[in-house]
């Protein structure tokens, strides 16, 4: 069913209203390819419909770029479409801010963060549908963006889809990314397999009737029998293990047989082995031992006519659906047969407010309780005691709940921690003991040669920060014999229009005058855009301070300057 068919059959439905709303909002907007923006949101919603997600998700899929690309706010969507749709759109918008720039150590944190931030797996699914559409139309973007997005897709989103058991999606994303990441290898591979695919397929077509007949004779109900060509991306990975020799790959094209019952999977295996002798050691029973992501199927390779190897994959319809759509299949909504009407399955989670996605995941996870890798891949998301913050460059920093900018600074680098003098969170100045939350963008201002303050030990949460602070304090104590009492202080008062980078500029200017910053506090001045920065410094030298103020006055957006001596 297409989105257009869906809204036609239900003219007053939520999805219909979302469709009309999105159409209005995106009217006139074009993508780089020149196609109407609206196509993108319909395409995204189409995938969600294909995965048989609930109507709320489909509506959210249609509306997912409204907040990003128009003046409408989340509150507007909430009024118009309700809390659930607004929640999902908000989640997708937040995920849109995460960027992967190819740092190895980022991969796992970013995948975790995506799941943790989403709170509801439908958010991830909408994001995946969005990414799928963008990958299909990646050609229109400039090359450097193609590379970045393809890399992010291959390293973050495709593996995420795989872990959610959405094998087909994961494979498609990898295949779409492959030519952008490895253009030469892709061209080479296409050349290699071009003829082989045709020859293989013709060969399997000749054999298919024989297989079908034998299975029917044994009273095995076949729901479907077809061929599946191995994806380029996974073929390439396999070739790396087989000396790049395509002739060594037996599952270039494999038979896929879908039967009605579990016993029939094994019966079919027996029949096929009677028909053709199996290749020793090539029977894989993923029904008895599912793959970590839940994949179930029996695979076997046999010697076909002319001694050529053929791979068979045998499974039930249920296993097939799950292999294709994974977690989405679990929560799929059924379309009532015949009428084409779109009906929610009552067992689904969307209506059960008391059941969070975490519980859903857990019950899904229990099915594969003995699979360590699978549990590893999911349990991080049950960490209620972790938060994920971002650097202004979009790098993820993984911290315990209750962490402060000082913890964040030490997590990036011990020197950043030691020299930390101020912090901005989501572009607002905050005190150093401010409690961070997930998805905060944290910017740390540092001053060269600054030493950590003993008072930080009262609020830092990470042992990393605590250990470093103690170490520095210990070494300066041994240098000075005693922990120095704070020297007499002065306080600079600056009235400013805040802007990105302002604090950094100010602190740099102060540093260049060989004055140390002890602390920074900022207060908005009521009824104006102005802010008052109070900066404690370790000098009481009036001449020095006056010169410094003159320099600071020359800084862009600094309006007034003065100082106090304590
Ligand atoms: Mn989008």
Find the range with the poorest average confidence among 80-84, 99-103, 283-287: 99-103
Find the range with the poorest average confidence among 147-161, 354-368, 391-405: 354-368
Instruction: State how far the alpha carbon of 460 is from the alpha carbons of 308, 423, 464, 519, in Å.
Output: 66, 14, 9, 16
Rg (CA), the chain: 30
Q: Place 265 in a pLDDT band, splitting at 50, 70 and 90.
A: very high
Q: Place 328 in a pLDDT band, splitting at 50, 70 and 90.
A: low
Task: For residue 131, report the distance from its CA to the centre of ligand 1, in Å.
Answer: 7
**Annotated catalytic residue, options 50, 69, 80, 508:** 69
Q: What's the mean pLDDT in 223-246?
A: 85
Q: What's the mean pLDDT in 469-479?
A: 81
What percentage of the chain carries pLDDT values higher than 70?
A: 84
Question: Would residue 69 show up in a list of annotated catalytic residues for this protein?
Answer: yes
Closest CA to 167 of 231, 89, 74, 83: 231
* CA distance linking residue 405 with residue 411, whole number of Å: 10
**Annotated catalytic residue, options 5, 20, 68, 213:** 68
Task: For residue 27, report the distance from its CA to the centre of ligand 1, in Å.
Answer: 15
What percentage of the chain carries pLDDT values higher than 90?
A: 34
With a cut of 80, say whether residue 44 has pLDDT above it. yes
Residue ranges of the chain that CATH labels 3.30.460.10: 184-329
Q: What's the mean pLDDT in 205-233?
A: 90
Task: For residue 452, report the distance from its CA to the centre of ligand 1, in Å.
Answer: 44
Q: Place 327 in a pLDDT band, splitting at 50, 70 and 90.
A: low
Q: Give the pLDDT confidence score for residue 501 in this predicted structure.
A: 85
Question: Would residue 185 show up in a list of annotated catalytic residues for this protein?
Answer: no
With a cut of 70, say whether residue 458 has pLDDT above it. yes
The token pair at 550 is: 């003159």
How much is the pTM? 0.63
Task: For residue 40, report the distance from its CA to the centre of ligand 1, in Å.
Answer: 7
Structurally, at CATH architecture level, domain 385-485 sits in: Roll (3.10)
- CATH value of 488-566 in 3.40.50.12780, 3.90.79.10, 1.10.1070.20, 3.30.70.260: 3.30.70.260
Task: For residue 60, report the distance from its CA to the centre of ligand 1, in Å.
Answer: 11
Looking only at the bridges linking them, the beta strands covering 309-316 and 253-259 are: parallel
Q: Place 197 in a pLDDT band, splitting at 50, 70 and 90.
A: confident
Closest CA to 157 of 180, 123, 124: 124
Containing 361, the helix (H) or strand (E) segment is helix 357-366
The token pair at 220 is: 């095995």
With a cut of 50, say whether residue 43 has pLDDT above it. yes
Residue 360 CA to its chain's centroid (Å): 19
Task: For residue 330, report the distance from its CA to the centre of ligand 1, in Å.
Answer: 25
With a cut of 60, say whether residue 487 has pLDDT above it. no
Question: Is 284 in a helix, a strand, or coil?
Answer: strand
Find the range with the poorest average confidence among 197-206, 244-253, 447-456, 485-494: 485-494
Q: What's the mean pLDDT in 280-287?
A: 88
Q: Place 528 in a pLDDT band, splitting at 50, 70 and 90.
A: confident
Task: For residue 262, report the distance from its CA to the centre of ligand 1, in Å.
Answer: 40
Task: For residue 62, report the distance from its CA to the centre of ligand 1, in Å.
Answer: 9
Q: Give the pLDDT confidence score for residue 72 in this predicted structure.
A: 93
Q: Place 110 in a pLDDT band, splitting at 50, 70 and 90.
A: confident
CATH of domain 3-178: 1.10.3210.10
With a cut of 60, say whether residue 261 has pLDDT above it. yes
To the nearest whole number, what is the mean pLDDT of the chain? 82
Q: What's the mean pLDDT in 127-133?
A: 95
Neighbouring C-alpha atoms within 13 Å toward the C-beta of 288? 6
Q: Give the pLDDT confidence score for residue 117 in this predicted structure.
A: 67
With a cut of 50, say whether residue 262 has pLDDT above it. yes
Phi, psi of 101 (to 5 degrees): -120, 25
Torsion of CA 150, 152, 158, 163, to 10 degrees: 170
Containing 537, the helix (H) or strand (E) segment is strand 530-537
Residue ranges of the chain that CATH labels 3.30.70.260: 488-566
pLDDT tens digits, 390-433 = 888 777 788 888 999 999 999 989 999 999 999 999 888 899 99
Q: Give the pLDDT confidence score for residue 371 in this predicted structure.
A: 38
Per CATH, is 184-329 categorized as 3.30.460.10? Answer: yes
Q: Place 215 in a pLDDT band, splitting at 50, 70 and 90.
A: very high
* Of residues 328 and 296, more confidently modeled: 296
Closest CA to 519 of 405, 408, 426: 405
Residue 462: DSSP 8-state: -
Phi, psi of 555 (to 5 degrees): -80, 140
Q: Give the pLDDT confidence score for residue 67 in this predicted structure.
A: 92
Question: Is 223 in a helix, a strand, or coil?
Answer: strand
* CA distance linking residue 475 with residue 452, whole number of Å: 12
The CB density around residue 97, as the number of other CB atoms within 10 Å, is: 12
Q: At CB < 8 A and 24+ separation, what contacts does 478-485 make? A: 483/454
């Amino acid at each position: 069913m297409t989105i257009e068919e869906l809204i036609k059959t239900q003219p007053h439905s939520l999805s219909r209203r979302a469709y009309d709303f999105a159409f209005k909002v995106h009217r006139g907007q074009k993508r780089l390819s020149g196609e109407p923006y609206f196509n993108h949101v319909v395409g995204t919603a189409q995938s969600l419909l294909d995965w048989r997600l609930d109507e709320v998700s489909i509506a959210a899929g249609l509306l997912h770029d409204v907040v990003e690309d128009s003046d409408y706010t989340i509150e507007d969507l909430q009024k118009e479409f309700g809390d659930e749709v607004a929640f999902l759109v908000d989640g997708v918008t937040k995920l849109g801010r995460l960027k992967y720039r190819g740092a190895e150590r980022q991969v796992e944190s970013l995948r975790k963060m995506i799941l943790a931030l989403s709170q509801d797996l439908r958010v991830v699914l909408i994001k995946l549908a969005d990414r799928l559409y963008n990958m299909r139309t990646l050609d229109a973007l400039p090359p450097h963006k193609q590379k970045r997005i393809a890399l992010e897709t291959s390293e973050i989103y495709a593996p995420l889809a795989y872990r959610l058991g959405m094998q087909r999606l994961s494979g498609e994303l990898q295949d779409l990314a492959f030519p952008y990441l490895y253009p030469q290898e892709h061209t080479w591979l296409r050349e290699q397999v071009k003829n082989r695919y045709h020859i293989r397929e013709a060969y399997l077509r000749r054999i298919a009737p024989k297989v079908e007949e034998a299975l029917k004779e044994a009273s095995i109900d076949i729901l479907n029998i077809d061929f599946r060509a191995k994806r380029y991306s996974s073929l390439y990975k396999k070739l790396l293990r087989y000396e790049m020799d395509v002739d060594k790959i037996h599952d270039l094209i494999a038979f896929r047989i879908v039967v009605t019952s579990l016993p029939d999977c094994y019966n079919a295996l027996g029949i096929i082995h009677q028909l053709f002798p199996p290749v020793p050691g090539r029977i894989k029973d993923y029904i008895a031992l599912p793959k970590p992501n839940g994949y179930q199927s029996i695979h076997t390779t046999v010697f076909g006519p002319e001694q050529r190897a053929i791979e068979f994959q045998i499974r039930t319809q249920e296993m097939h659906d799950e292999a294709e759509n994974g977690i989405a299949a679990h929560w799929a909504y059924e379309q009532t047969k015949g009428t084409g009407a779109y009906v929610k399955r009552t067992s689904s989670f969307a209506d059960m407010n008391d059941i969070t996605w975490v519980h859903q995941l857990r019950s899904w996870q229990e099915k594969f309780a003995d699979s360590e890798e699978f549990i590893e891949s999911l349990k991080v998301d049950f960490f209620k005691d972790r938060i994920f913050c971002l650097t202004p460059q979009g790098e993820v920093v993984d911290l315990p709940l209750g962490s402060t900018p000082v913890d964040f600074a030490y997590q990036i680098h011990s020197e950043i921690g030691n020299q930390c003098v101020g912090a901005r969170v989501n572009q607002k100045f905050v005190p150093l003991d401010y409690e961070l939350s997930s998805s905060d963008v944290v910017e740390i201002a540092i001053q060269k040669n600054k030493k950590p303050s003993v008072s930080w030990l009262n609020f830092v949460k990470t042992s990393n920060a605590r250990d470093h602070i103690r170490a520095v304090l210990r070494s300066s104590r041994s240098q000075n014999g005693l922990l120095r009492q704070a020297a007499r202080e002065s306080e600079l008062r600056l009235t400013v229009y805040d802007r990105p980078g302002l604090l950094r500029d100010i602190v740099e200017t102060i540093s260049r005058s060989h004055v140390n910053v002890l602390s920074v506090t900022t207060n908005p001045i009521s009824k104006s855009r102005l802010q008052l920065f109070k900066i404690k410094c370790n000098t009481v030298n009036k001449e020095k301070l006056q010169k410094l103020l003159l320099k600071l006055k020359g800084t862009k957006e600094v309006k007034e300057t003065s100082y106090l001596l304590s």
